[in-house]
């Protein structure tokens, strides 16, 4: 008898046995197909419902169903007399190839997360809902000869059609359909209309090609040659190149060689705002379909991109964290840009590291994986030192660009209410006089992070979290950046009744306001998650910057990542002090990376760059070490400290978190869990730290606590976790627990 062993998206770490669907022959069923299955208790339709709907009898039954993946086929089951048949076979051929199923199983085992939920996280939503896996045409679209003679402004057409035609006019070699729909959401109907009129044509695949590559310097050429020499084997390498050293050109030339081998390239980027820029750069070089993955795609766009990658129709796949799960028909290389970035670590539910999954995937596929960064993570530098990774170094900026110079500004001598020091204002004016661009970085959005009463020291805090509320001038409201709660600003102190409250500290909005006062004729642009929330907002912003329509940029860390601003010669770091006082052992690494990444935006063309760092701690050893000796000297010192403290990468960590309605319940749950773990820890190879309250103990009305698990040996840690987790209650309505393997944030 054929038994289907199915992974279902439920929080249970096991497969579930089913009989084949009725009227389906055993030979029609294969591993990797989707099935719709009943799951859970069968519920009788209520008497009240039968009164509302007379045709429904109370004897009718309602069963919850799920879409699952057939992972194994068996001939027997321990529950044979209780098995139900699957409701429906959804695929005629396997949806998932064996290599991807095996990767999902590895991730489930390593991160100790149910396989069904791993697969559910990795698949497009429409596939999880049972939608047909049919790939639509993704040919490259270009203007027809007829359309090239049109006057777009005078010809009668919709604004959407005019935008599409103008965009394709700017790309005479065409754009692939997925990329065009990514740039112009909701344009599918207009595209079909324009194709029907004959104004847009689909180019055949045989016409695809590659534009001429740029000249490589010696270090770039050595990196490309080294990777391509190992193109048919697992070759993990750290591409360690200073900002502006031409890492992207190295990626492009590696991919060009991979495409000539008729293989695919998977490129990961840390932020959604980098995706359009990367796609644009790749489209200028390669005339091939590019599948783009990020969180702002519609469900249909994500499904079509996924299918085009799986079927080999898209030779290049570019995306953020979740793109690491994309199926590849002919894998050739995986590239992880800005590999150090925290965005590669999923911070809730299935807490995987896309960078680490990429390395494992490359190892299984026997292909190179390139980890690129100007400020490599300490983990990757350690792996390079241990010769687990090849260390490829790009020491100089490409072309004539030179490294920026640094200067620390002591803010203890500046007026308290002005976020811009006199030295910074003078430097800004000098740049404006020379028609150069300025970038000001402050890693805090909003107007001011604190609303306070000077009379009684009252501070506006969130009712649901242990956090201060941030005032946003755009909306004139106080907002919590942790739970999203929002309310009007208090007209007077709710504690003492004093009529005047004060806004303390600076956010991007307040810095923007001060810039408008100090430089009234300058063109100022604020860039943060509030100002770039729409789908094309960041694309529009970048166009303005490169067109020279902006004099001063002020924004958060999204400005620090991967952007090329050739006209920026001055970078001002407004307030770095919060990061210098971090409680996480990785805080210093994060601050060092952020400072160097922001600094890298300065002086990337012919003009030298200047970086001014404002701080109330001008003698802080991290800043002095970083500026005086550079990132890599800092990294070596930080690794020495990690080794002495036995922190990663010299040990392995897991973090058990719990949220409960009371502090006592959270801590008691962890105490009980710790006692069970200690009974299993007979070899004494695992240590336990805590339980303790989380640094932000209360969030969204839940009390949070955590237990840190540490071991010098990865295998010992995972053996304990495998024995320990089955002792946990799976369902508890009063609390929620989660395990984070290799945590990147202890907050």
pLDDT in tens, 515-552: 999 999 999 988 876 665 555 666 677 778 778 888 99
Please tell me which of 167-181, 272-286, 382-396, 681-695 the model is most confident about, judged by mean pLDDT.
Answer: 382-396
Least confident of 16-20, 143-147, 338-342: 143-147
Enumerate the β-bridge partners of residue 317. Answer: 266, 291
CA neighbours closer than 13 Å in the CB half-sphere of residue 264: 24
Q: What is the CATH number of domain 3-128?
A: 3.40.1440.60
Nearest 5°: phi and psi at 513? Answer: -60, -45
Q: What is the CATH number of domain 405-448+505-641?
A: 3.40.50.300
Give me the helix-helix angle, 587-599 and 631-645, nearest 10°: 170
Least confident of 87-96, 493-502, 605-614: 605-614
- What does DSSP assign to residue 45? P
Query: What is the model's pLDDT at position 138?
Result: 63
C-alpha 520/C-alpha 408 separation (Å) is 26
C-alpha 392/C-alpha 374 separation (Å) is 12
Query: What is the model's pLDDT at position 507?
Result: 79
Query: What is the model's pLDDT at position 482?
Result: 85
Using only the alpha carbons of the chain, give its radius of gyration. 28
Query: What is the model's pLDDT at position 365?
Result: 97
**Residues 701-716: tens digit of each pLDDT:** 899 999 999 999 999 9
Residue that the structure tokens 């595209």 belong to: 191
Exposure string of 111-140, with b = 16+ CB inside 10 Å and e = fewer, is bbbbbbbbbbbbbbebbbebbebeeeebbb
For residue 306, count CB atoms less than 10 angstroms from its CB and return exposed for 0-12, middle for 13-18, buried for 19 or more: buried
**Contact predicate 61/1, CB 8 Å:** no
Q: Which residue has the higher pLDDT, 512 or 325?
A: 325
Please tell me which of 355-359, 502-506, 567-571 the model is most confident about, judged by mean pLDDT.
Answer: 355-359
- Look up the CATH superfamily of 218-272+317-394: P-loop containing nucleotide triphosphate hydrolases (3.40.50.300)
Q: Which residue has the higher pLDDT, 497 or 444?
A: 497
- What does DSSP assign to residue 448? B
Determine what percent of the chain is predicted with pLDDT higher than 90: 50
Mean pLDDT of 664-679: 95
C-alpha 276/C-alpha 280 separation (Å) is 6
**Residues 317-339: tens digit of each pLDDT:** 999 999 999 999 999 999 999 99
Residue that the structure tokens 């395990």 belong to: 739
- Nearest Cα neighbor of 382 from 559, 205, 589 is 589
- Strand-pair category, 702-711 with 687-699: antiparallel
Residue 56's pLDDT band, with cuts at 50, 70 and 90, is very low
Query: What is the model's pLDDT at position 416?
Result: 63
- Every domain range in the chain assigned CATH 3.40.1440.60: 3-128
Query: What is the model's pLDDT at position 50?
Result: 43
C-alpha 604/C-alpha 674 separation (Å) is 52
| Mean pLDDT (the chain, rounded) | 87
**Contacts by 206-209, CB closer than 8 A, 24 or more apart:** 207/140, 207/287, 208/140, 208/286, 208/287, 208/288, 209/287
Q: Which residue has the higher pLDDT, 443 or 117?
A: 117
C-alpha 632/C-alpha 374 separation (Å) is 10
Query: What is the model's pLDDT at position 209?
Result: 73
Query: What is the model's pLDDT at position 399?
Result: 66
- Nearest Cα neighbor of 333 from 245, 249, 268 is 268
**Contact predicate 652/742, CB 8 Å:** yes
Give the DSSP H/E element, type plus range, for residue 393. strand 390-394
**Contact predicate 104/119, CB 8 Å:** yes
Query: What is the model's pLDDT at position 535?
Result: 56
Q: Please, what is the Cα angle at 248 between 243 and 253, to 5 degrees?
A: 145
CA distances from 485 to 213, 462, 465, 479 (A): 50, 7, 9, 6
Mean pLDDT of 440-456: 80
Mean pLDDT of 212-232: 94
Residue 734 has pLDDT above 70, yes or no: yes
Residue 53's pLDDT band, with cuts at 50, 70 and 90, is very low
Residue 58 has pLDDT above 70, yes or no: no
Least confident of 335-339, 471-475, 569-573: 471-475
Mean pLDDT of 619-639: 91
Neighbours of 532 (CB within 10 A): 21
β-sheet with 200-203: strand ranges across: 175-176, 140-143, 200-203
Mean pLDDT of 232-239: 97
Query: What is the model's pLDDT at position 59?
Result: 44
Query: What is the model's pLDDT at position 52?
Result: 41
Structure tokens that stand for 444 in this block: 């805090």
Residue 653 has pLDDT above 80, yes or no: yes
Contact residues for 126 (Cβ-Cβ < 8 A; gap 6+): 299, 300, 302, 303
For residue 700, count CB atoms less than 10 angstroms from its CB and return exposed for 0-12, middle for 13-18, buried for 19 or more: middle
DSSP 239-293: EEE-TTS-HHHHHHHHHHHHHHTT-EEEEE-S-GGGHHHHHHHHHHHB-S-EEEE
- Every domain range in the chain assigned CATH 3.30.70.330: 652-741
C-alpha 468/C-alpha 481 separation (Å) is 9
Residue 48 has pLDDT above 50, yes or no: no
Mean pLDDT of 378-382: 97
Least confident of 435-449, 697-711, 712-726: 435-449
- Strand-pair category, 652-660 with 140-143: unpaired
Query: What is the model's pLDDT at position 400?
Result: 59
Query: What is the model's pLDDT at position 141?
Result: 82
C-alpha 108/C-alpha 102 separation (Å) is 10
**Contact predicate 615/409, CB 8 Å:** yes
Residue that the structure tokens 């999902």 belong to: 104
Please tell me which of 179-183, 203-207, 265-269, 444-448 the model is most confident about, judged by mean pLDDT.
Answer: 265-269
Query: What is the model's pLDDT at position 17?
Result: 95
For residue 163, count CB atoms less than 10 angstroms from its CB and return exposed for 0-12, middle for 13-18, buried for 19 or more: middle
Query: What is the model's pLDDT at position 567?
Result: 84
Determine what percent of the chain is predicted with pLDDT higher than 70: 91
Query: What is the model's pLDDT at position 184?
Result: 73
SS3 483: coil
Contact residues for 323 (Cβ-Cβ < 8 A; gap 6+): 266, 268, 293, 294, 317, 354
Residue 179 has pLDDT above 50, yes or no: yes
Nearest 5°: phi and psi at 266? Answer: -110, 120
Least confident of 142-151, 618-627, 645-654, 698-707: 142-151
Residue 272 has pLDDT above 80, yes or no: no
Contact residues for 21 (Cβ-Cβ < 8 A; gap 6+): 35, 85, 86, 87, 88, 89
Mean pLDDT of 347-365: 97
SS3 62: strand
Residue 285 has pLDDT above 70, yes or no: yes
Mean pLDDT of 274-293: 83
Q: Which residue has the higher pLDDT, 108 or 197?
A: 108
Question: Does domain 652-741 match CATH 1.10.3720.10?
Answer: no
Residue 203's pLDDT band, with cuts at 50, 70 and 90, is low
For residue 554, count CB atoms less than 10 angstroms from its CB and return exposed for 0-12, middle for 13-18, buried for 19 or more: buried
Residue 445's pLDDT band, with cuts at 50, 70 and 90, is low
C-alpha 236/C-alpha 248 separation (Å) is 17
Mean pLDDT of 354-364: 98
Residue 607 has pLDDT above 50, yes or no: yes
């Amino acid at each position: 008898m054929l038994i289907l062993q199915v992974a279902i998206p439920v929080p249970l770490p096991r497969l579930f046995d089913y009989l084949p669907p009725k009227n389906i022959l055993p030979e029609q069923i294969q591993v990797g197909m989707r099935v719709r299955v009943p799951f859970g208790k069968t519920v009788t339709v209520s008497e009240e419902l039968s009164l509302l709907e007379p045709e429904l009898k109370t004897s009718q039954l309602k069963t919850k169903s799920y879409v699952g993946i057939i992972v194994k086929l068996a001939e027997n089951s321990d529950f044979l007399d209780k098995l139900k048949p699957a409701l429906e076979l959804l695929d005629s051929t396997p949806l998932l190839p064996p290599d991807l199923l095996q990767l999902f199983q590895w991730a489930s085992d390593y991160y100790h997360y149910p396989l069904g939920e791993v697969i559910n996280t990795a698949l497009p939503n429409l596939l999880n809902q049972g939608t047909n896996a049919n790939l639509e045409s993704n040919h490259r679209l270009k203007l027809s000869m007829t359309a090239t003679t049109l006057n777009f402004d005078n010809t009668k057409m919709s604004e959407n059609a005019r935008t599409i035609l103008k965009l394709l006019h700017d790309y005479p070699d065409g754009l692939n359909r997925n990329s065009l729909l990514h740039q112009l959401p909701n344009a599918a109907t207009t595209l079909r209309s324009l194709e029907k009129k004959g104004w847009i044509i689909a180019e055949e695949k045989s016409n695809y090609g590659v534009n001429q590559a740029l000249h490589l310097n010696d270090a770039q050429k050595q990196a490309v040659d080294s990777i391509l020499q190992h193109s048919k084997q697992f070759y993990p390498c750290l591409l360690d190149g200073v900002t502006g050293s031409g890492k992207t050109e190295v990626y492009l030339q590696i991919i060009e060689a991979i495409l000539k081998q008729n293989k695919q390239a998977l490129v990961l980027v840390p932020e959604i705002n980098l995706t359009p820029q990367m796609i644009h750069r790749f489209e200028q070089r390669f005339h091939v379909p590019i599948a783009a993955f990020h969180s702002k795609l519609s469900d249909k766009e994500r499904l079509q991109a996924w299918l085009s990658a799986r079927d080999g129709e898209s030779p290049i796949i570019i995306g953020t964290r979740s793109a690491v799960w994309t199926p590849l028909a002919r894998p050739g290389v995986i590239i992880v840009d800005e590999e150090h970035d925290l965005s590669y670590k999923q911070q809730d539910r299935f807490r995987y590291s896309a960078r680490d999954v990429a390395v494992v995937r490359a190892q299984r596929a026997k292909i190179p994986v390139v980890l690129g960064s100007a400020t490599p993570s300490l983990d990757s530098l350690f792996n390079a030192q241990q010769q687990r990774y090849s260390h490829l170094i790009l020491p100089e900026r490409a072309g004539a660009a030179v490294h920026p110079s640094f200067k620390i500004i002591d803010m203890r001598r500046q007026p308290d209410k002005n976020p811009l020091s006199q030295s910074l204002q003078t430097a800004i004016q000098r740049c404006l006089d020379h028609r150069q661009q300025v970038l000001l970085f402050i890693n805090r959005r909003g107007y001011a992070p604190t609303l306070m009463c000077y009379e009684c020291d009252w501070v506006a805090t969130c009712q649901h979290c242990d956090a201060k509320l941030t005032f946003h001038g755009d909306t004139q409201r106080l907002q919590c950046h942790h739970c999203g709660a929002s309310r009007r600003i208090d007209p007077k102190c709710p504690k003492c009744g004093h009529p005047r409250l004060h806004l303390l500290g600076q956010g991007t909005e307040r810095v923007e306001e001060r810039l408008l006062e100090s430089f009234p004729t300058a063109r100022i642009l604020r860039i943060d998650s509030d100002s770039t929330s729409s789908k094309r907002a960041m694309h529009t912003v970048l166009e303005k910057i490169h067109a020279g329509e902006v004099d001063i940029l002020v924004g958060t860390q999204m400005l620090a990542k991967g952007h090329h601003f050739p006209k920026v010669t001055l970078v001002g770091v407004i307030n770095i002090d919060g990061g210098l006082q971090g409680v996480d052992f990785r805080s210093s690494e994060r601050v060092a990376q952020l400072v160097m990444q922001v600094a890298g935006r300065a002086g990337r063309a012919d003009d030298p760059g200047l970086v001014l760092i404002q701080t109330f701690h001008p003698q802080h050893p991290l800043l002095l070490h970083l500026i005086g000796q550079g990132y890599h000297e800092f990294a070596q010192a930080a690794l020495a400290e990690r080794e002495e403290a036995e922190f990663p990468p010299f040990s392995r960590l897991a973090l058990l978190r719990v949220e409960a309605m009371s502090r006592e319940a959270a801590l008691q749950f962890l105490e009980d869990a710790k006692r069970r773990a200690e009974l299993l820890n007979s070899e004494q190879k695992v240590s336990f730290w805590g339980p303790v309250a989380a640094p932000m103990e209360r969030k969204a009305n839940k009390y949070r606590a955590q237990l840190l698990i540490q071991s010098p040996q990865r295998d010992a840690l995972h053996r304990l976790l495998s024995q320990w987790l089955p002792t946990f209650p799976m369902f508890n309505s009063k609390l929620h627990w989660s395990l984070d393997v290799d945590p990147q944030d202890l907050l």
